Each structure stands twice: as structure tokens, then as C-alpha cells.
Amino acid sequence: MYRRLVCLLVVGTLLFACKTTRVQQFDHPLPSPPEGYRWELNTAFSDEFEGEALDKSKWYDRSPYWKHGRPPATFRASSISVSDGYLQIKNQPLIPKNEKYHIAGGAVASVSKDAYFGYYEVRMKASGISMSSTFWLKNKPASQDCHFEQLELDIVEAVGMQKRGGDFHNFMKSNAHIFHTDCEGERLVKSAPNQAPVSPPVHEAFHTYGCWWVDENTLHFYLDGKYQYTIHPSTHFRSKPFNRPMYMHLVTETYNWEAPPTLEELQNDSINTTYYDWIRSYKLVKE
């Protein structure tokens, strides 16, 4: 997808109007479905972001599942906007700041919590600062009784300006986490990471990041429509680990292993925003 400025000039009536329109350049093909099945759009987790505001029937502009964020950044609905055909999360200085938080990030979350087996993809351009630009799924603990367990599917975690830590701007980073807390309060995390190189880097161009959640044990990942790798979640706790539906998150946050952006970087509108062109999700249905 790209955008073109279309202008209409009517000389006799002195009418001059311009608007930005989305032009279909090409869409990457979906993975080939199993024989006897086809892909059907899952509208609860799909959006082209063509309006002038976030569709509140589909999205929260401040996640109710993760309310505050990781210091020094916290989530603010004021960081979220929809314009020019993009969902935008703009990272800025937090006003007023406090001892714990001084950066405003953003966390858009799906209203629906039943994302399950299917294909999930986003076209995203990361910000150019040392905060994340992400697309992932998670769920709440299945019950309030011990043990407590959450599943998290990170389709992509990106950082446009790397100051320290791993290379999150030249690679598509994905993971399948199981967060397990037993009845004695001991927390055990089982993760299954993988990665693939991205070119141009995540903050220099839009890329499409996708995941086919095939079944409880199988996750196929795609970059710009091409298969990259498969992740098999840990079977430490059970033989079929990814066995529960999830909600969707689009988040910009600070990491405890990465130096936060400076005031000057946060005030630079050319690098402080993550752009989501669209989200498209699909489920398999029988022919």
C-alpha cells in the first residue's frame, strides 16, 4: 500500500480540493490453507484505520489488561490517534511527570479476547527512538486459583534506535512465552524465541509481520509475506501449551534493559511515532 495526493480543480467555480487516497500497490499472499479450507477475514481483529478516530467497538485506546506500563514510560490514551490512514502511537514527555513515570507511551488493545488459531498480520513502521514498537497477543490467568498462568505470543518486538541490548532494529524478533506461578508463589517462565533479519531496518520502512497460529504447538512466522521460521512453545507444563484464546496488543513501551529516549528525541516528531497501516486477521473455514 502507498498513498497518493489527489486534487480536484474546477476553474469556473474556483473549487480546489485535495485528499489523500490509499492506492493498492500489492498485498502479500496469505499462507496456503490446508486442503478443503479457505481463509476468512476475522473482523474483530482487523482494521484498515481509514477513519479519523479509533474504532471503539474493536479497540481500547488504553489497555484495560495492562494499565500502566513499565517505568519510566506509562500508557496514555492521548498518545493514540488515527489519521492519514494510520493508527499512530506518539511517544512524548509525560506532563505532569512524577517520580515513577516521565514518558507517555501507548497501548492499544482489542475489545475481543478470543483470538485463537488463525493468521494475524500487521503492516508497521517502528519509531526511530529507543522504545518498542510491537504487535502481540496475550491472555489473562485462566482462574484466580493457583496455579496462575498466562500465555503470550509476540509476533514482533522492534526498537528503532538501539542504544544497548540485542539488535531489535535489524531483526524481526518473535517469542512464545508461558508465565507460570505455582501455589507456593514461585514464578517460572518458559520462552521460545526466534528471529529473522529485516531490511531496511524496522524504523526506516514499513514491513508486514505475520504469524499463523496453526495449533497448540505450532506457530509459523512471516516477514513481508515470506515464511521465516517456526516456533514450538515449551511443553514443560503440558503437551499442548498454547491452548487458550487471547486478546491483541499494539504497544510502545520502555524496556528495563534499554536506555530510554532523551527529551530531545521524544520531542522530535520525525522519529517519535509508530505507524500501523493496517491489521488483518483470518480464520480457516471449510470450503
Q: What is the DSSP string of 143-210?
A: -SSSSEEEEEEEEEEEESS-SSSS--SSEEEEEEEEEEE-TTS-EEEEE--EEEE-SS-TTTS-EEEE
* Cα 15 from Cα 13, distance rounded (Å): 5
* Cα 135 from Cα 50, distance rounded (Å): 19
Q: What are the residue ranges of helices labelled H in the chain?
A: 263-266
Residue with cell 500508557: 75
Residue with cell 467497538: 57
Residue with cell 478443503: 36
DSSP structure class, residue 263: H
CB atoms under 10 Å from CB of 244, counted, come to 16
Q: Are 63 and 249 in contact (CB under 8 A)?
A: yes
Q: What radius of gyration, in Å, describes the C-alpha atoms of the chain?
A: 20
Strands (E), the chain: 2-10, 15-23, 37-41, 59-60, 73-75, 80-83, 86-90, 92-93, 103-110, 118-125, 132-138, 148-159, 171-181, 187-191, 194-197, 207-215, 218-223, 226-231, 247-252, 273-286
Q: Annotated active-site positions, please?
A: 152, 157
CB atoms under 10 Å from CB of 250, counted, come to 23
